[in-house]
């Protein structure tokens, strides 16, 4: 076990994300106590998002601003999965609580493999049985989910998500904010643009431009990625 972290602060709330994050933090750091700060009204009651041996306290971001409480923000992590939500979380908490990139902890599950020649930024989450191969570069807030694989000499921009079982071959570039669906295969030397969504099970055989939803075998552009249009609008309001 690496250096212990007694308490981890989780920013934003998604039941599916929080359970994975808390258990990974326990396995890595022996962390059993968590503080969740949610920025939107989420109905968390009756949702089994935390193992019974772990404890947490939930706060509302606006309430904390109005009545500051003693929370150590030295170690934080995203509490949401999707690529179009994490930049909203980062920008809002940065502006309202002064939380910067260096405060974000990376979580690398013991069953994952990260090549010694690869590089990743803060806020990285490598879930069980995931792989990052040689000389790959991963940006801030990247999430590679269980059983996914990043090939050699790949470049993943900030906030990129690889869903379970996604496979990137060698020399693949994935732009900032793009989400790769479950079971997607991306062939050698392919570039996928920023703010894209690649649908589950797709086989990407040619380059994909910025800001689109694309899927199929072979993968084809279907429409603009409206999720990111909403994200850009929300970012302007923060």
Q: Are residues 179 and 125 in the same domain?
A: yes
Residues 76 and 151 in one domain: no
Residue span of the structural domain in which 15 resides: 7-80
How far is 238 from 236, CA to CA, in rounded Å? 6
Does residue 53 belong to any structural domain of this protein?
A: yes
Helix (H, G, I), strand (E, B) or coil at 226: helix
Can you give the pLDDT at residue 1? Answer: 42
One domain, residues 72 and 134: no
pLDDT at 47: 57
pLDDT at position 98 is: 93
Do 215 and 171 lie in one domain? The reply is: yes
Give whichever of 14-23, 64-73, 82-91 has the largest mean pLDDT. Answer: 82-91
- Asked if pLDDT for residue 140 goes beyond 90, the answer is yes
Q: What is the pLDDT averaged over residues 94-118? A: 96
> Number of folded domains in the chain?
2
| Per-residue pLDDT band at 213 (split at 50, 70, 90) | very high
Helix, strand or coil, per DSSP, at residue 235: helix
Is residue 75 domain-shared with residue 147, that is, in the same domain?
A: no
Q: Give the model's confidence band at 108: pLDDT under 50 very low, under 70 low, under 90 confident, else very high.
A: very high
Do both 112 and 222 map to the same domain?
Answer: yes
Other Cβ atoms within 10 Å of 142 Cβ, number:
28
Q: Are 130 and 145 a contacting pair, CB within 8 Å?
A: yes
- 49 lies in the same domain as 145: no
Question: For residue 235, is it within any domain?
Answer: no
The set of catalytic residues is 152
């Amino acid at each position: 076990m690496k250096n212990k972290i007694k308490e981890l602060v989780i920013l934003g709330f998604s039941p599916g994300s929080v359970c994975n994050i808390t258990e990974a933090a326990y396995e890595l750091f022996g962390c059993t106590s968590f503080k969740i700060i949610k920025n939107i009204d989420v109905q968390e009651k009756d949702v089994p998002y935390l193992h019974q041996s772990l404890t947490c306290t939930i706060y509302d971001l606006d309430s904390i601003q109005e009545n500051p409480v003693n929370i150590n923000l030295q170690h934080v992590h995203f509490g949401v999965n999707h690529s179009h939500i994490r930049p909203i979380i980062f920008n809002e908490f940065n502006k309202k609580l002064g939380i910067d990139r260096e405060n974000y902890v990376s979580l690398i599950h013991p069953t994952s493999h990260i090549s010694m020649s690869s590089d990743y930024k803060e806020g990285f989450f490598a879930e069980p049985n995931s792989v990052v191969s040689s000389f790959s570069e991963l940006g801030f807030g990247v999430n590679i989910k269980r059983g996914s694989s990043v090939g050699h000499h790949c470049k993943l921009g900030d906030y990129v998500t690889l869903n379970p079982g996604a496979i990137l071959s060698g020399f693949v570039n994935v732009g900032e904010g793009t989400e790769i669906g479950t079971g997607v295969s991306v062939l050698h030397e392919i570039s996928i643009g920023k703010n894209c969504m690649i649908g589950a099970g797709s086989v990407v055989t040619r380059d994909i431009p910025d800001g689109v939803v694309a899927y199929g075998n072979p993968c084809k552009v279907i429409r603009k990625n409206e999720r990111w249009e909403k994200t850009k609008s929300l970012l302007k309001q923060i």
